[in-house]
Amino acid sequence: MSETPRLQPFVVEALTDLGAVVSPGESLVWVQAPESVQHDLEVPANFALTFDAERSREFEAELVAPGSYFLERLIAVVARRGQWDAARCAVSGTDWILSGLRESGLGPETGVRSHVNGIEDGLLWLFAFRVTLLSDEKRESFHLVAVSPSERCAWTVDPVRPDQELIPHPSSGNSADLEAGYRLAAESLRSITAGEVDRFRTRSLGLLEEEVRRIFGYFDRTIEGLRESDPDGSQELLRAVMAERDRRLSEAVERFDPKAAASLCSIRAIQVPTARLRLGFPDGSGTDARLDGWSGRLRGLICSNCGGTDGPWRWSPPEGLRCATCAPTPAGSARPRGRPPSDTPRRGMRAGEASARSPRGSRARSRGASAGRRRP
């Protein structure tokens, strides 16, 4: 749960959006709530809020802090609203194309030439997901996944990306597009979180194994000791010890059994200008690409080394176009980050699966998805 300083602007804006009149005072925030808010948040028509527990007795103020009843109610109400929205990206001109190319590492200064074949209105679906990993602890994350239904590809977007350039717009697209988009987004989310989920699983199962080993060790040796000390001893006692062992084991499994869940929080349909580009590289080769004016994601490129589709990009002879992970450093020695890609599948895995655990694998999977070869 986030820091308290972030809470106040959120709470004030959320209450305002719900129709309340909010007047921040010196130490308390005063709220006039319409009936719907009174009902949803279980508050009177006029009440005070405080962000300081020590002041919550003043004017019977509602305390807003992680774990406070009021905040939990408000979050629940706000999360039930705003689950879908349609907007249009209001960028104009063509400057965004140049800056998009620069951010992707393929600006004119790199020697890569670009030709705009046309700008058309494209549709992006933006799916927001909450991912929860649960065993005897909880780890959560929030992800935004953009999907271009026409290009059948998905990519992640910074979850705190400001959306000032978005303006309300009537909904577009159809439900078939939405379903297909969701499937692409879900598959992409699986790839994005695969490493984290796997680490969580390994850790939880490690703890479970340790616990199970200790329980077996203790109870089995205790049973052995009882048998040795009194071979004709009570079977009832032995049964009781075994029953206790089984109970402890199921308790351990209950505690450490890892679970990973994702839930869809909201969907946005964004109409966005999308440029059809022809990129020309210094060696005379070229490729078609697309760039949208909102996410700035350059699509249609493939790393000549790992086959990934994630930028940023670098073009250099003789390697050609490579993603940042695979591109040689300026000195031409070590790779900037990540391990060298390997085509050798892990033991016991099929070739396609092996890649799912490496950065390269997640990109390969996106590429596969975009090529329509993978089914969710």
Partner 1 sequence: MSLPAREPPPSADASLPLRFDDSDRDLLARAFGSPGDGPRACRLNGEAHRISLVDGFDRLLAWPVLRGVARYDHQERTALRVLRDLRGRAILADEVGLGKTIEAGLVLKEYAVRGLIHRVLVLTPAALTDQWREEMETKFALPFAILRSVRDWDRRPFLIASMDTAKREPHRHAAQARPWDLIVVDEAHRLKNRFSLNWRFVAGLSKKYMLLLTATPVQNDMDELFNLVTLLKPGQLHTYDRFLERYVASPDRRVPMRVSELRGRLRDVMVRNRRGIAFTLPPRRVHSLAVRLSPAERRLYDDVTQFVRDAYWSASGRLPWTARLTLIVLQREIGSSTFAVAETLRRLAQSPLFRSDERERLEDLRQDAAAITSNVKAARLREFLESVDEKVLIFTQYLRTLQYLQGVLEADGHRVAAYHGGLSPAAKDAAVRTFRGDADIFLSTEAGGEGRNLQFARTVVNYDLPWNPLRIEQRIGRVHRLGQDREVHVVNVWAEDTVEANLMELLDRKIHMFELVVGELDLILGNLDQRRSFEDLMMDIWVLRQAEDRRSALRRLGDSLVRARAQYEDAKDVNEAVLGGAEEAASA
Q: How far is the CB of 335 from partner 1 (least distance, A)?
A: 27
Choose which of 24, 25, 217, 233 interacts with partner 1 (CB under 8 A): 217
Q: How far is the CB of 333 from partner 1 (least distance, A)?
A: 35
Taking the C-alpha atoms of residue 271 and residue 147, their distance in angstroms, rounded to an integer, is 12
**Residue 266 binds partner 1 (CB under 8 A):** yes
**Residue 45 binds partner 1 (CB under 8 A):** no
SS3 219: helix
Stretch in the footprint of partner 1 (CB under 8 A) among 36-44, 173-181, 231-239, 302-310: 173-181
C-alpha Rg value of the chain to the nearest Å: 28
Burial environment of residue 179 by CB neighbours within 10 A (0 to 12, 13 to 18, 19 or more): exposed
The residue (of 109 and 158) whose beta carbon lies closer to partner 1 is 158
Q: How far is the CB of 247 from partner 1 (least distance, A)?
A: 7
Burial environment of residue 20 by CB neighbours within 10 A (0 to 12, 13 to 18, 19 or more): buried
Provide the residue type at 230 as one letter.
Answer: D
Stretch in the footprint of partner 1 (CB under 8 A) among 54-62, 90-98, 306-314, 330-338: 54-62
Q: How far is the CB of 94 from partner 1 (least distance, A)?
A: 25
Structure tokens at 66: 């992680």
Q: How far is the CB of 177 from partner 1 (least distance, A)?
A: 11
What is the separation of C-alpha 127 from the centre of its chain, rounded to a whole number of angstroms? 10
**Residue 130 binds partner 1 (CB under 8 A):** yes
Choose which of 22, 30, 73, 75 interacts with partner 1 (CB under 8 A): 75
- State in Å, rounded, how far the first CA of the chain is from the last one: 31
Q: How many helices (H) and strands (E) does the chain have?
A: 8, 14
Stretch in the footprint of partner 1 (CB under 8 A) among 38-46, 71-79, 276-284, 310-318: 71-79
Between the CA of residue 69 and those of 30, 154, 251, what are the distances in Å? 18, 38, 30
Q: How far is the CB of 290 from partner 1 (least distance, A)?
A: 24
Question: Containing H/E element for 41?
Answer: helix 35-41
Q: Find the binding residues for partner 1 in span 219-248 (CB under 8 A).
A: 219, 221-222, 225, 244, 247-248
Paired residues of 279 in beta bridges: 114, 287
**Residue 197 binds partner 1 (CB under 8 A):** yes
**Residue 265 binds partner 1 (CB under 8 A):** yes
Q: How far is the CB of 322 from partner 1 (least distance, A)?
A: 29
**Residue 168 binds partner 1 (CB under 8 A):** yes
Q: What is the DSSP string of 148-159?
A: ETTTTEEEEE-T
Contact 208, 257 (CB under 8 A): yes
Task: With CB under 8 A as the rule, give the number of residues binding partner 1.
Answer: 99
Q: How far is the CB of 362 from partner 1 (least distance, A)?
A: 13
Choose which of 36, 45, 84, 233 interacts with partner 1 (CB under 8 A): 84
The residue (of 200 and 281) whose beta carbon lies closer to partner 1 is 200
Stretch in the footprint of partner 1 (CB under 8 A) among 115-123, 211-219, 279-287, 361-369: 211-219
CB count within 10 Å of CB 220 equals 13
Q: Find the binding residues for partner 1 in span 282-341 (CB under 8 A).
A: none
Residues 6 or more apart in contact with residue 216 via CB below 8 angstroms: 245, 249
CB count within 10 Å of CB 262 equals 17
Stretch in the footprint of partner 1 (CB under 8 A) among 53-61, 146-154, 302-310, 339-347: 53-61
